[in-house]
Amino acid sequence: MASLDSLHFDNRFARLPASLYSRVQPRGLARPRLVAFNPDVAALLDLDPACAQQPEFIEYFGGHRPLPGSAPLAMKYTGHQFGVYNPELGDGRGLLLGEVVNSRGETWDLHLKGAGQTPYSRFGDGRAVLRSCIREYLGSEAMHHLGIASTRALCIVGSEEPVQREKFELGAMLLRVADTHIRFGHLEWLYHSRQPELLRTLADFIITYHFPECAAGQDRYGDFFREIVRRTACLMAQWQLVGFAHGVMNTDNFSITGATFDYGPFGFLDAYEPGFVCNHSDHQGRYAWNQQPSVGLWNLNALAHALSDLVERDVLVEALQGYQAVFLAAYSQGLHDKLGLRGEQPGDRELVVDFLDLLARSGADYTRSFRGLGGLRLEDEKPALRDDFVDRDGFDAWHARYRQRLVAENSDDRERAARMQAVNPKYILRNYLAQTAIDKAEAGDYSEIETLRRILREPFAEQPEFGHYAALPPEWGRHLEISCSS
């Protein structure tokens, strides 16, 4: 077990050429206090959880004292925001403190979000607000435990410092932990600013540390691109399967290792509305839930462009052409599993599509409907789930086909239920749940953050004592607007 001042740092990114970043020290917030601490992430760093009780903990992660061994820096990157290239980006309110190596030989980036201004802050104040830190803390943890690659968070340090957004809010910092903070936008920057040597250096760094399986091949950059295409396609399928909407799928928010990255105005679907737009600043619906798979491909196109000096055009095009097949295979298999179907039978595709259609027409709850499906018994002609559908006749007709399909494969209720409950979560981070934790925290009570963290740790378990956290959102919680400003 490491203590805070004995974390084993190996700051690899800081050893890269200095033009890739600016060295900046964090600037602390007034009257810091510990809002949330995640022992699971502490374990990743070999940190003794007792360290959270020590006064230094808040000093280190509230930006008041440099963590021994760290080498804070703001990364430079650019990216496409809402389809438009922006050359002015970079870490404007977050710093890479350094990379910690644990006893298993894993390396984890520590990134302090909200740590103050940097040369890339443009007009921003360099701060993050308590509200958005809580959303990221819980959202990233929820995704991780749903089995989806994601950044995570060690802690939130709050403060009494007011930060101006649409209204005044409380400033806070979040310690994000990730395999890397390199984004698609890092490579885009080096390509568009015509720095081919540095581009190659950074691509080599990425391959060495994050795609070692590509390092030895004849075409290492091509192999790396093929792999990030594959990972991104799988990630998009996973997002769709759990009803996750990212909200700001700009290329500066896309991780080069294919993990879910940068939690802003994200949201999980409540009612199944395929055109759901969680970011209320996204007037065109560019990042609507049902657009995500094609935006993933769009972003990979931007990345391909950035790699065009390193990889043959034909290789890039062929890799991009493979995206759709990987996405569709993962998505259809996932839906198949969510319906509890085994093997492939004629008519399966229609059965799946018609269920989604039924959900959309009834505005039924995405998560609850799939979870409820797992509890059906073959003998039930009119299951309780039926009442969630406005179109009862439509449900009955579909249900008859579904039963027939299950009978045809000799499906066993208990066995099928176990399989389905392992892929259809009971608990997701509904917007209103996050909002409840935020409202309490803004009033000084942080307990709901910890309650949610614990529930979301086991999203597939029944946890009957927390059943009400799986309920439909209350009227006030249905269409909460989440803006980009965080």
CB of 161 to ligand AMP, least distance (A): 13
> Is residue 92 a contact residue for ligand AMP (CB under 6 A)?
yes
What residues are annotated to the active site? Answer: 252
Which region, judged by CB under 6 A, interacts with ligand AMP, from 122-130, 170-178, 199-207, 438-446? 122-130
Contacts 24+ apart (CB under 8 A), 358-361: 358/389, 358/391, 358/394, 358/395, 358/398, 359/272, 360/272, 360/273, 360/274, 361/390, 361/391, 361/394
Between β-strands 267-268 and 244-245, what pairing exists: parallel, antiparallel or unpaired?
A: antiparallel
Between β-strands 79-81 and 94-101, what pairing exists: parallel, antiparallel or unpaired?
A: unpaired
Q: What is the DSSP-derived secondary structure letter of residue 133?
A: H
CA distance 270 to 435: 14
Considering only residues 258 to 317 of the shown chain, the ones binding Mg ion according to CB under 5 A are 262
Residue 473 interacts with which of ligand AMP, Mg ion, none, CB < 5 to 8 Å by class: none
Among 90, 158, 340, 459, indicate the residue that binds ligand AMP (CB under 6 A): 90
> Is residue 477 a contact residue for ligand AMP (CB under 6 A)?
no
Q: Could you give the 3-state DSSP secondary structure of residue 47?
A: strand
> Is residue 91 a contact residue for ligand AMP (CB under 6 A)?
yes
> Is residue 93 a contact residue for ligand AMP (CB under 6 A)?
yes
Half-sphere exposure for 451 (CA within 13 Å, toward CB): 16
- Name the token pair of 7: 């974390």
Among 46, 223, 262, 282, indicate the residue that binds ligand AMP (CB under 6 A): 262
CB of 163 to ligand AMP, least distance (A): 8
The amino acid at residue 345 is Q
Among 149, 248, 249, 456, indicate the residue that binds ligand AMP (CB under 6 A): 248
Residue with the two structure tokens 């769709």 = 240
For residue 218, which of 315, 305, 303, 300 has the smallest C-alpha distance? 315
Residue 91 interacts with which of Mg ion, ligand AMP, none, CB < 5 to 8 Å by class: ligand AMP
Site string for Mg ion, 210-249 (x = CB under 5 A): ----------------------------------------
Residue 26 interacts with which of Mg ion, ligand AMP, none, CB < 5 to 8 Å by class: none
Taking the least distance from each CB to ligand AMP, the nearer of 246 and 403 is 246
Which region, judged by CB under 6 A, interacts with ligand AMP, from 123-131, 148-156, 271-279, 306-314? 123-131
Among 264, 265, 340, 372, indicate the residue that binds ligand AMP (CB under 6 A): 264
Instruction: Report in angstroms the alpha-carbon separations of 149 from 43, 235, 316.
Output: 18, 8, 24
Among 126, 158, 247, 459, indicate the residue that binds ligand AMP (CB under 6 A): 126
Taking the least distance from each CB to Mg ion, the nearer of 38 and 132 is 132
Taking the least distance from each CB to ligand AMP, the nearer of 14 and 163 is 163
Residue 276 has phi, psi (to 5 degrees) of -55, 125
Q: How far is CA 314 from the centre of its chain?
A: 31
- Residue pair 430/276 in contact by the 8 Å Cβ criterion: no
Among 132, 253, 291, 424, indicate the residue that binds Mg ion (CB under 5 A): 253
Taking the least distance from each CB to ligand AMP, the nearer of 52 and 75 is 75
Q: Please count the residues of this chain forming the interface with ligand AMP, following the rule CB under 6 A.
A: 17
Among 3, 107, 121, 411, indicate the residue that binds ligand AMP (CB under 6 A): 121
Q: How far is CA 212 from the centre of its chain?
A: 24
The DSSP code sequence of 261-328 is ---SS-EE-SB--TT---BTT-TT-TT-GGGHHHHHHHHHHHHHHHTTTTS-HHHHHHHHHTHHHHHH
Taking the least distance from each CB to ligand AMP, the nearer of 3 and 117 is 117
> Is residue 176 a contact residue for ligand AMP (CB under 6 A)?
no
Residue 93 interacts with which of Mg ion, ligand AMP, none, CB < 5 to 8 Å by class: ligand AMP
Q: Which residues bind ligand AMP (CB under 6 A)?
A: 89-93, 120-121, 124-127, 248, 252-253, 262, 264, 484
